[in-house]
Structure 1
Amino acid sequence: MKSRSILPIIAFIGLPSAALAQGHADQDSGLQVTISGGIVSAPSFVGDDDYQTSIFPNVTLRYGDRLEASLRGIEYTAIIGDGWKAGGILGYDFGREEAPDASDFMISGEASTDLIGLGDVDGTIEIGGFVAYEAGPFAAHFELRQGVDGGHDGLHGEARAQYRGRFDAMALPVFFGVGPKISFGDDAYNSAYFDVSAAQSAASGISEYDAGGGINSYGLGANVMVPLSAQTSLIGFVDYEQLTGDVGNSSIVQERGSQDQVRAGVFLNYTF
């Protein structure tokens, strides 16, 4: 599904260390705007074994250390103290099309036809919350999102941890983060994307399947950020997930795709 391919990409843009590394003013000073552009390679939908490479634009708005808005949604940090942060999320799950058109941003790959017969999953407005903790080089993040209007009415989320550090390369500082993560969803969420009804099976040729809730994936992510100037930085990432549980066993994944999912990209950020 498109949104699940996009979210890990957005999560790596604007690392917490980026503002410090570039010498920006403290976030309490007001509004910051980050314009990003890059190239991303990712499965055409979660569970696919065919990949697309696309140009990917994004804009992130931050106000102080409390409010952030991007394609991930709007996040408001309500609690800050002793390494902890917690707040609310208003987001949007972009859904999934059974027969998407080739995107104008795609530079390699093809629009997938694997899901024809399954029908579209409409976009969904989601509300949720997050808790984050940092202690020295270690950071952890946990979030939940509940669908309230649209293609799914389920609950899903993820938990991730990172070790962060710095090294120098060619006289430039390089900031990095690496660590594990898991994702999960309840029956309603997983059914929206991984069920195959009798009618859908007849239309698509994919075996019937009834997905339940649980752990959906586990994996490892790594990213690097290189400040090029006071406003400009280069960010790269690679992200691996193994689909598991009822999602990994879905006939969509087993018959038309792969449990192994890899995403990678490079972005140029400009902040003002």
Structure 2
Amino acid sequence: MIAKNLLGLVALAAMLPVAAAAQDAATPPASAAELAEEMGGDTVTIGLGVGYMPDYEGSDDYQFTPVPGVIGSVGGVNFQVLGNRASADLIPNQPGPTWDFQAGPIGVVNFMRSNRSGIDDPRVRALGDLDTAIELGGYVGIGKTGVITSPYDKLSVSVSYRHDVTNTHGSGIWQPTINYFTPLSTKAAVALFGSAERVETKYLRTYFDVSPTQSVASGLPTYNGRGGWKSWTVGAMGTYSLTGNLLKGFKLIGGGTYRKLINDVGDSPIVRDAGTRNQWLGVLGLAYTF
């Protein structure tokens, strides 16, 4: 789950070159699909970064993790495959300052506490390994190009729902999101974003409850929580071209987020006693667009 959100940041940064390159173009492309046509075909960005993130969601111990990703447009379909997360927008964008309707599938492989060797805290390790969950679902959203700083900035809102199909936690997650990005020049662009997550009770009981048996093994107090709003997140991301402009070639990407765990998740001893409600994430990497 932690890796999922960081990988999403890399996806956002990889999308920024489309808007940034548009600012000084004679016939500026306004979408990934139009950019692909102007370049004589499809467009793909590949990237590799290093993320610094908690051992598990709620941990106060951190580790470095590789963050690979691919994002692009093929046949008018915008897609991203980023580590443990994949999604696609099946509605092609329209050129120019206009409304952008979004809808498509989402898939996430949730590795939350599936490998005890990656957890420093002995109390949390003593709770045992969890199976990997595969969460499938979809999202809908709407965006507007040309809203504040130029004809090429973009504000969008969306809501997604995904459900565990492996019965690891056997429940669903709702996630509303708001994104804003703007080009600064043909070399640089920035983005701001915020989101929240609401989980069902089975999710919380799988990842944040402590049973009597687990309490004896770990020393943490027993705990039974209920579903509801789990967290809110804010962050920023930026990208800067290293080879001329952001339409092609190499670029740096970087950014971070702050996440606050709230309600029954924040009150879990796995978070309150063994970790912290305050979660920080950072990434720095290199991408190439062709």
TM-score by length of 1: 0.85
Structure 2 match to 1:78: 90
Are 2:269 and 1:251 aligned? yes
Q: How far has the Cα of 1:99 moved from its partner?
A: 1.9
Q: How far has the Cα of 1:113 moved from its partner?
A: 3.1
Code of the residue aligned with 2:217 in structure 1: it is A
User: C-alpha distance in 1, partners of 2:175/2:124?
Assistant: 25
Q: How far has the Cα of 1:134 moved from its partner?
A: 1.2
Structure 1 match to 2:175: 158
Please point out which of 211, 227, 236 is paired with 1:222: 236
Are 2:221 and 1:196 aligned? no
User: C-alpha distance in 1, partners of 2:110/2:62?
Assistant: 20
Residues 170-229 of structure 1: CA distance to partner in whole angstroms, max 9, x if unpaired?
xx6321111322111110111111011111111111111112111111131111111223
User: C-alpha distance in 1, partners of 2:288/2:7?
Assistant: 15
Q: Verify the 8 A CA contact 2:2 2:53 in the aligned structure 1.
A: yes
Q: How far has the Cα of 1:86 moved from its partner?
A: 0.8
Q: Verify the 8 A CA contact 1:181 1:221 in the aligned structure 2.
A: no
User: C-alpha distance in 1, partners of 2:181/2:88?
Assistant: 24
Are residues 21 and 66 of structure 1, via their aligned partners in 2, closer, same or farther at CA, if it must alter by over 3 Å?
A: same
Higher deviation after alignment, 78-87 or 173-182: 78-87
Q: Verify the 8 A CA contact 1:47 1:261 in the aligned structure 2.
A: yes
Code of the residue aligned with 1:46 in structure 2: it is E
Residues 110-137 of structure 1: CA distance to partner in whole angstroms, max 9, x if unpaired?
7443412212121112210111221133
User: C-alpha distance in 2, partners of 1:74/1:262?
Assistant: 23
Please point out which of 156, 159, 166 is paired with 1:142: 159
Q: How far has the Cα of 1:80 moved from its partner?
A: 4.7
Higher deviation after alignment, 226-235 or 64-73: 64-73
Higher deviation after alignment, 141-150 or 243-252: 141-150
Q: How far has the Cα of 1:20 moved from its partner?
A: 4.3
Q: How far has the Cα of 1:62 moved from its partner?
A: 4.6
Structure 2 match to 1:175: 189
Structure 2 match to 1:87: 104
Residues 4-43 of structure 1: CA distance to partner in whole angstroms, max 9, x if unpaired?
1111221122433323435787246655443322221111
Q: Verify the 8 A CA contact 1:22 1:231 in the aligned structure 2.
A: no
Give ranges in structure 1 of 5+ residues lacking alignment. Answer: 102-109
User: C-alpha distance in 2, partners of 1:178/1:67?
Assistant: 20
Please point out which of 45, 51, 61 is paired with 1:50: 61
Residue pairs, 1:97-108, within 5 angstroms: 97=114, 99-101=116-118
User: C-alpha distance in 2, partners of 1:141/1:61?
Assistant: 19
Higher deviation after alignment, 28-37 or 239-248: 28-37
Code of the residue aligned with 1:257 in structure 2: it is G
Q: How far has the Cα of 1:153 moved from its partner?
A: 0.7
- Bigger Rg over Cα: 2
TM-score by length of 2: 0.80
Higher deviation after alignment, 257-266 or 5-14: 5-14
Code of the residue aligned with 2:138 in structure 1: it is G
Are residues 65 and 215 of structure 1, via their aligned partners in 2, closer, same or farther at CA, if it must alter by over 3 Å?
A: farther
Code of the residue aligned with 1:120 in structure 2: it is D
User: C-alpha distance in 2, partners of 1:67/1:147?
Assistant: 24
Please point out which of 108, 114, 126 is paired with 1:117: 126
Q: What is the aligned residue count? A: 258
Code of the residue aligned with 1:96 in structure 2: it is R
Give ranges in structure 2 of 5+ residues lacking alignment. Answer: 23-31, 94-98, 146-153
Give the alignment's Cα RMSD to 1 decimal.
2.4
Are residues 215 and 87 of structure 1, via their aligned partners in 2, closer, same or farther at CA, if it must alter by over 3 Å?
A: same
Residues 154-174 of structure 1: CA distance to partner in whole angstroms, max 9, x if unpaired?
101322212322335xxx632
Structure with greater strand share of residues: 1
